[in-house]
Amino acid sequence: MIIVITGPTGVGKTKLSIELAKRINAEVINGDSMQVYKDLDIATAKVKKEEQEGIPHHLFDIVPVTYNYTVYDYQKDCRKKIEEIKSRGHNIIIVGGTGLYIKAALYNYTFNKEEESYDFSCYTNLELLNEIKKDHETTIHVNNRKRLERELTKIYNNTKSNGLGNEILYPFTIIGLTTSRDTLYERINKRVDEMVEDGLIKEAKDLYDRKINSKAVMTGIGYKELYQYFNNEITFEEALDLIKKNSRHYAKRQYTFFNNQFKMNWFDVNYNDFNKTIEEVYNFINRED
């Protein structure tokens, strides 16, 4: 059995994945494009060792932050982990908010041998446009996100991009956690403040002092904004506001992708009694199985 737990940033996916894994004898595979990187812990809300409660977790902290890890790399690595876990007779939970990665692993999404695909979900439209303009001038409008992503993919690959296949290679049940917009935005804002308390500034400053300017850092929400602060381009307060704003915009883009690319089973999270949400999802999975 493969269960996918997804939803917007900050909604509670990690907690649900661990509780379900304990109940259904499952191992967890990361489905977040940023959590594959070492040294990117706080801003990515990466699950801590003590939070894993003994559940095997895979594809976390697997590459240096300087590495350009693509969706093609993830596809290969995730499928390998799926086969390994299946051989042990365990169920699988893929948890994360990077819909492109998850779909590439589970569907017939193929690449040319020389081609790579990229996750641009952390870019704003303006950042995509500016990145294209580093290569050539373009008439693509800043609001046409699909064309911007396609054009930037062609630049990076210098070849035409294949699309997502519609054939499912690994049958799965997808669980989406959701809540009201006001509640989600409040949780996102609060989580950013908690990240600062947990040492986000030091984590980002260590990367900055090491002169790490990789794609992961320069597009990662929580890092790119603080780099602007370290460069004296914006104030500290402006950086925090940008992190919160960009996180909220990212959540909106996640919803759009999930609803367009998957047949979602959405569950409203009960934050007053999260156990009720766990029970609701667990009962649904048992009915589906």
pLDDT tens digits, one per residue of 204-220? 999 999 999 998 999 89
State residue 135's pLDDT score: 64
> If you average pLDDT over every residue of the chain, what do you get?
90
Nearest to 274 by CA among 282, 284, 263, 286: 282
Q: What amino acid occupies position 224?
A: K
Q: Cα(first)–Cα(last) distance of the chain, in Å?
A: 8
Distance CA 235, CA 143 (A): 27
Nearest to 274 by CA among 2, 6, 11, 7: 11
Distance CA 212, CA 206 (A): 9
Domain boundaries, the chain: 2-109+164-288, 120-163
- Say if CB 112 and CB 159 are below 8 A apart: yes
Q: Which residues contact 71 (CB under 8 A, 6 or more apart)?
A: 33, 100, 101, 104, 116, 117, 118, 119
Using one digit for the tens of pLDDT, what is the confidence trace for 238-283? 999 999 999 999 999 899 889 988 999 999 999 999 999 999 999 9
**Residue 162 pLDDT more than 80?**
no
**Residue 152 pLDDT more than 90?**
no
State residue 92's pLDDT score: 98
pTM of the model: 0.83
State residue 108's pLDDT score: 86
State residue 159's pLDDT score: 36
State the architecture of 2-109+164-288 in CATH terms: 3-Layer(aba) Sandwich (3.40)
